[in-house]
Structure 1
Amino acid sequence: MSTVLRVSNLTKTFRSGSRDLTVLDDVSFEVEDGSTCAIVGPSGSGKTTLLGLCAGLDAPTSGTVELCGTDLTPLDEDERAAVRNQYVGFVFQTFRLLPTLTALENVMVPAELQGRSGARDRAATLLDRVGLGDRLDHYPAQLSGGERQRVAMARAFINEPRILFADEPTGNLDVETAETIEDLLFSLNETAGTTLVLVTHNLELAERTGRVLRLRQGRVELDEMRTAA
């Protein structure tokens, strides 16, 4: 099995007033192709910062991130964006849908950025897969939180990404809706054979993955391989 994500001695420091604040401190790990991994830990432990660095949304203070065979370290923001567009899907806690586009149009955006043909049909198929086949022409404001997250998941998978990063994907949802979204996420991921890396406070969600990384004060406190449920 090949390595899709390799993190080596990753450190991220921010300037806070007159002092430096180290959010991540010498973090190293690898994620294998097709695997599932949860990043957990208390608030302020560096989870979301780590996810952003892994996805090339930000650059580390030191250390390296190799994503799908590409070292992100020497790349500028535009070059990192090109790598993300080719290999990465995202699901965020806050959905991040474009309010002026319909559900169908929101899902189509990544495929259109890549110039893929058949984007409309694939978007419609994915929306039907997540139970929104009758909501194609609805705008985000006309959808519930759970429905918006379903649109976001369909959008994440439209380019058949090699790796999917999910940041608190059920954090804004009630318990029942969250369980439905979790089931859809793992079902879509299994069908696509995508590598899944997610940040969550929900330990039950984390236990559904094949590996749990626990952060504390910016360092890896626990790296547990497990049999996913």
Structure 2
Amino acid sequence: MADILSVENLTKTFKSGNRELTVLDNVSFDIEEGSTATIVGPSGSGKTTLLGLCAGLDVATSGTVSLNGIKLNALDEDDRAFTRNQYIGFVFQNFQLLPTLTALENVTVPLELRGEKGYREKAIDLLTRVGLGDRTDHYPSQLSGGEQQRVAIARAFITDPKILFADEPTGNLDEETAAQVEALLFDLNKQQGTTLVMVTHNLELASKTERILKIKGGKLVDDQKSVVA
């Protein structure tokens, strides 16, 4: 399998007053297409920063990120946004649904941005697959946290992304709901052959991916294959 994501000597620093803070320090790894991986580490270790750089949401201070053969650091902001819309799906801890749009409208947004047609049927199908076929006209405020995350998962998969980035996807959910959302995420990911890269504090969740990358103090300190159940 070819690598869909290549990270090479990635460093990210921020100015804090007169000090320079290094959040990521010379991180390198590759992710194979169709594989699943988790980035773990203590709070403040640089996990979410790393995920954002891999997804082209931010630009590294030095080093390179190549996604599907495209060097993200060589692109301007508009081209990075275009690349994200073409190849990437996102699932966030806080759902990030648009409050004034229904579940169905939230799911169709990425395809509307692409200018595609016939997306309504696809969105209804995905919402049905995540168990919300009867909630398509509900607004986020009318949905539970677990239901909102299901909408977010449907939205992430509607573009048939090559890679899905998930940042603490079950972090705001109770244990039972989290287990349901986990199963849904992995099932859809497997059905669609998507590459999954996830950030989580939950080591039990991390163990369900094929590979675990551990970040500590901004450095990659461990990279191991997981025994997926």
TM-score, normalised relative to structure 1: 0.99
Query: Mind listing any 5+ residue stretches in structure 1 that lack a counterpart?
Result: none
2:72 counterpart residue number: 72
Q: Which residue of 2 aligns with 1:21?
A: 21
Rounded to whole Å, the distance in 1 between the matches of 2:4 and 2:228 is 19
Where in structure 2 are there 5+ consecutive unaligned residues?
Answer: none
Q: Distance in 2 between matches of 1:122 and 1:45?
A: 38
Question: Take 2:29 and 2:192, find their aligned partners in 1: how far apart are those partners?
Answer: 24
Q: Partner of 1:122: helix, strand, or coil?
A: helix
Q: AA paired with 1:138?
A: H
How many residues of Structure 1 are paired with residues of Structure 2 in the alignment? 229
Q: What is residue 36 of structure 1 aligned with on the other side?
A: 36
1: CA distance between counterparts of 2:156 and 2:8?
26
Shift of residue 73, structure 1, vs aligned partner: 1.2
SS in 1 for 2:204: helix
Q: CA deviation at 1:227?
A: 3.2
Q: Could you list the runs of 4 or more consecutive aligned residues of structure 1 that deviate by over 4 angstroms after TM superposition?
A: none
| 1:210 pairs with 2:210 | yes
Other-structure match for 1:81: 81
Indicate the residue corresponding to 1:224 in structure 2.
224
Q: Does 1:154 align with 2:154?
A: yes
**Following the alignment from structure 2 to structure 1, what is the Cα–Cα distance between the partners of residues 193 and 102?**
28
- Residues 75-99 of structure 1: CA deviation (Å, up to 9, x unaligned): 1111100100000000000100000
Offset of residue 118 of structure 1: 1.6
For residues 171-212 of structure 1, the C-alpha deviation after alignment (integer angstroms, 9 at most, x for no partner) is 000011000000000000000000000000000100000000
Q: Secondary structure at the match of 1:178?
A: helix
Structure 2 partner of 1:136: 136
Q: CA RMSD in A?
A: 0.6
* Paired residue type of 1:48: T
Q: Is the 8 A contact 2:98 2:106 kept in 1?
A: yes
For 1:228 and 1:123, the matched residues in 2 are separated by: 30
Amino acid at match of 2:68: C
Could you give the per-residue CA deviations for residues 101-126 of structure 1, whole angstroms, max 9, x where no partner exists? 00000000001111222210000000
Q: Percentage identity across aligned positions? A: 68
Task: Confirm or deny: 8 A CA contact 2:208 2:226 kept in the other structure.
Answer: no
Q: Give the 5 Å matches for 1:42-53.
A: 42-53=42-53
2:181 is aligned to: 181
